A and B are shown apart, each in its own frame.
Chain A
């Protein structure tokens, strides 16, 4: 979980794509997942997700994300299957419609979340911010907010882990198997964590300002992000994905 959003250096085709193309592909996969109403097509999209992960040379990351999502998915599946009461019962109180709906919801969740996490694994945050500013004309302030938020997540988790380890060493039962008890122990940590992250964000603001944050314009970026033939190919692929979702 801690390195979920961390960049994995590499030089694959996916790594070299324009960051905007990657974001676009992610959005397209999301849209396709919501347009389609067929389980086979959702499974196909899942294969696309995994395919991207393998093509980018980060299969372990892709499978790791999938594994993480599966845990949430199981919970969501049971909940959804219990809530939907239409259709004929097939097993205990579960109905066929319920199971089908639950499968779709869960598949959508996985299909949508996977590429989002993977974009961050194969794109440098600064490239992402610069490309958004240069190509999509997003104001730098917002790009900076976005990238800082992403960068803070692992730091935040690290800090949380640190506090928990320190307290476990002093006898607090953070290693308990009881999830509710663990949650109860974690709640009091929220205030100190919040304070330290506010303090850290202030420090980051100052540090950015003394390095000319306010002077930055769209033309500041040193690296350029032109669109290459590979980007065009991805664009074409995206159109096919959407068309497939509508037609199949």
Chain B
């Protein structure tokens, strides 16, 4: 679905490249998580995939990106946005209406979704985001987390094939963060939407994302299946990326017991593993 080959980008007026020699693939229906310390180039990568780079941010662009077979350089942002939906880090700037319902309508109207199809799309998106009860509310009266959900709902209403989210849980409490990821999982599994999410909460990523991409100073430090990447706990910590405790526990156990154990990514797995070790 997404192919990036030797991609480098330097923002105009900057000396150091924001991204350097990035090569990666995300398959159709994949769920990829991007993590890395501040300034690692996470947002730049999201912008490049969604076509905002180079259309809105000029700079030196090397390499090639293909999104659903389209090259963002030759495709207009409007055409690209029929495939890729992007939820921005600054939710405030994304919102164009004063009422939740209108916010969802905006994209649907623009992309010419047939009017008889609109009510169903609206209701589905509200349900998927778990905000049916907010439909008539004024956006100014919502909390940060609720606004985040509205922003996501307004994008999923468009049913993009690829959904990119830049730190969608940045302003959310742990319960809502988990809800958002559960929602992304449903979208990914039930609707086959390819999900790419930039996230600082490693525990959520390790549990939900199947593919992890660790960025550091504009380069890919590690990428691959979540378990594989998490087995580099010490190296990740040096880059400024924490490893979930369940993963560290697996590694500690395997070190102490002197036998290789699979890296756990959630609490249930970890519990089973510890029980198994005690049993032995």
Closest chain-B Cβ to A131's Cβ sits at a distance in Å of 13
Contact A124:B56 (CB < 8 A) given known A203-B88, A209-B77: no
Contact A6:B140 (CB < 8 A) given known A151-B98, A207-B93, A215-B111: yes
Determine if B136 is an interface residue (Cβ-Cβ < 8 Å): yes
Interface residues in chain A, defined as those with a beta carbon under 8 Å from any beta carbon in chain B: 3, 6-9, 124-127, 144, 147-148, 151, 154-155, 200, 202-216, 220-223
Chain A positions within 8 Å of B154 at CB level:
211
Distance in angstroms between the alpha carbons of A144 and B106 in the assembled complex: 12
Interface residues in chain B, defined as those with a beta carbon under 8 Å from any beta carbon in chain A: 50-52, 56, 76-78, 80-81, 84-86, 88, 90, 92-94, 96-99, 102, 105-112, 115, 118, 136-138, 140, 154-155, 158
Q: Is the CB of A204 within 8 A of B115?
A: no
Q: Is the CB of A222 within 8 A of B90?
A: no
New A-B pairs, 7, CB < 8 Å, besides A9-B99, A9-B138 = A7-B99, A208-B96, A210-B81, A211-B96, A215-B110, A221-B109, A222-B115
Q: Is the CB of A211 within 8 A of B77?
A: no
Q: Is the CB of B50 within 8 A of A210?
A: yes
Q: Is the CB of A154 within 8 A of B93?
A: no
Chain A positions within 8 Å of B99 at CB level:
7, 9, 124, 126
Closest chain-A Cβ to B151's Cβ sits at a distance in Å of 9
Distance in angstroms between the alpha carbons of A3 and B141 in the assembled complex: 10
Q: Is the CB of B138 within 8 A of A7?
A: yes
Distance in angstroms between the alpha carbons of A198 and B7 in the assembled complex: 29
Contact A209:B98 (CB < 8 A) given known A9-B136, A215-B112, A222-B108: no
Q: Is the CB of A220 within 8 A of B96?
A: no
Q: Is the CB of A206 within 8 A of B98?
A: no
For B84, the closest partner residue in chain A by CB is A210
Task: Please indicate which of the listed interface residues B84, B93, B108 has the most CB atoms of chain A within 10 Å of its own CB.
Answer: B93
Distance in angstroms between the alpha carbons of A205 and B90 in the assembled complex: 13
Q: Is the CB of B105 within 8 A of A222?
A: yes
Closest chain-B Cβ to A47's Cβ sits at a distance in Å of 29
Q: Is the CB of B52 within 8 A of A206?
A: yes
Closest chain-A Cβ to B231's Cβ sits at a distance in Å of 36
For B94, the closest partner residue in chain A by CB is A207
Closest chain-B Cβ to A147's Cβ sits at a distance in Å of 8
Selected A-B contacts with CB under 8 Å, 17 pairs = A6-B98, A7-B138, A7-B140, A9-B136, A9-B138, A125-B97, A126-B96, A126-B97, A126-B102, A127-B102, A200-B92, A204-B93, A205-B56, A211-B154, A212-B111, A222-B108, A223-B105
Closest chain-B Cβ to A74's Cβ sits at a distance in Å of 30
Chain B positions within 8 Å of A124 at CB level:
97-99, 102
**Partner among B52, B98, B110, B112 whose Cβ is within 8 Å of the Cβ of A211:** B110
Chain B positions within 8 Å of A210 at CB level:
50-52, 77, 80-81, 84-86
Closest chain-B Cβ to A243's Cβ sits at a distance in Å of 35
Distance in angstroms between the alpha carbons of A222 and B122 in the assembled complex: 12
Closest chain-B Cβ to A75's Cβ sits at a distance in Å of 30
Chain A positions within 8 Å of B158 at CB level:
211
For A140, the closest partner residue in chain B by CB is B110
